[in-house]
Structure formats: structure tokens, C-alpha cells
Amino acid sequence: MIDVALLLAALLGRPAGIVSTIYDIGGIDMVCLIEYESQYNDRACRREAKGGESWGLFQLWSKYHEQHRDDLLLHVVAGASFWASCLEKGRGNIAVSYSWYNSWDPRKSIAKGREVERLRDNLALYIYRHLR
């Protein structure tokens, strides 16, 4: 049987090693979060209008998050921890949790959250149909 993480990496066209690591830590939800945030570019960087930069796989904003630019594993731990806290605030609802993640507000980024949720649902359905 094919490994789910490898199938996700192939479907997304992303590096299998990092997708597998992310899947092992945070499941398909976190795989989709990172696809939406950085498309698995671990050096992705965006200057924020309100100062600082959003950086890395998780696009963590330097204004609020310690930056681990030279240690991918620490970056993943920090991002996974922040995502877990947002999932808790959103009570497991991906769209609401993403809105917390992106804007620290349950409604401000809900449309983007629904995009992450839709990606997750589409990938999960594909996996279900092809691996049963």
C-alpha cells in the first residue's frame, strides 16, 4: 500500500521528505496549511506592511514569532505549535482556525481559511477514493 504522505507529495508536486515530516507531525491539515502559506518553499519571505517579515514554510511573522531561519526543524516545531494553538481556538474547524492563524481573528481571514479547508477536503477525498 502506498504511503499517504508520499501520495500527498506527489499530488502537490512537493518534496516527499518535508511533506512526510509535516504529515507525521500535523496530518493532512498542516500539509494543506503549508501548501497555502509557502508552497513548501522553506525560504519564502514576505515583507509585511506593518513591519517585519513573514518567513519560512509556515510564514511566521517576525513581529510575533521567533525566527529560526537557520534551523528548519525548530521552524517546524514553532509553526506546528502555533497552528495547534489556532486549532484549539477554532475548536478544530479548519477555516476558523486558519483565520486565527492568519489574522488573529476568527472571521477576518475566513475566506482564505475556507480555501485551506477546501484543499484539505479535496485531497482527503482523493486519498480515500484511491486507497480503499
Instruction: Note the pLDDT tens digit of each residue in 87-122.
Output: 999 999 999 999 999 999 999 999 999 999 999 999
Structural domain span for residue 45: 4-131
Give the CATH number of the domain where residue 55 resides: 1.10.530
Q: What is the domain count for the chain?
A: 1
Tell if the pTM clears 0.85, that is, is over it. Answer: yes
85: region left, alpha or beta (phi > 0 left; psi from -120 to 50 alpha): alpha
Asked if residue 2 has pLDDT above 70, the reply is no
Q: What is the layout of strands, in order, in the sheet containing 60-61?
A: 45-47, 53-55, 60-61
Asked if residue 6 has pLDDT above 70, the reply is yes
Asked if residue 41 has pLDDT above 80, the reply is yes
Asked if residue 132 has pLDDT above 90, the reply is no
Instruction: Note the pLDDT tens digit of each residue in 23-38.
Output: 999 999 999 999 999 9
